[in-house]
């Protein structure tokens, strides 16, 4: 299991930084946890990149979870209807890898 702490600012101005942080983990086979507890600011572009990253890893059979999402991250994901697919809606929600495969919690 690899842990990567998300940056506090996931605004559009920081999407390139987020992509640079995620890129080395795209092909990694080890399960990846993204710690979201430090996230304070979120824009749609940051969430779209996170969603695409999680879905791409899931399509490759690689497990990715967001752990300890901050209130800002969880609320932004809910507003864009990405909370379930990013796994930030609580423990009863299926993990993104499970969602991609059609499994349920």
pLDDT tens-place string over residues 43-81: 999 999 999 999 999 999 999 999 999 999 999 999 999
Residue 9 has pLDDT above 90, yes or no: yes
Q: Which domain holds residue 83?
A: 2-101
Total number of domains in the chain: 1
Residue 13 has pLDDT above 80, yes or no: yes
CATH number at residue 39: 3.30.750.24
The secondary structure of residue 8, as a DSSP letter, is: S
């Amino acid at each position: 299991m690899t842990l990567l702490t998300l940056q506090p600012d996931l605004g559009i101005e920081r999407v390139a930084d987020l992509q640079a942080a995620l890129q080395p983990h795209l092909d990694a086979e080890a399960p990846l946890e993204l710690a979201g507890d430090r996230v304070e600011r979120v824009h749609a572009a940051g969430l779209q990149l996170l969603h695409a990253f999680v879905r791409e890893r899931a399509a490759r059979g690689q497990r990715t979870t967001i752990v300890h999402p901050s209130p800002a991250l969880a609320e932004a994901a809910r507003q864009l209807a990405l909370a379930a697919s990013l796994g930030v809606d609580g423990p009863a929600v299926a993990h993104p890898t499970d969602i991609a495969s059609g499994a349920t919690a």
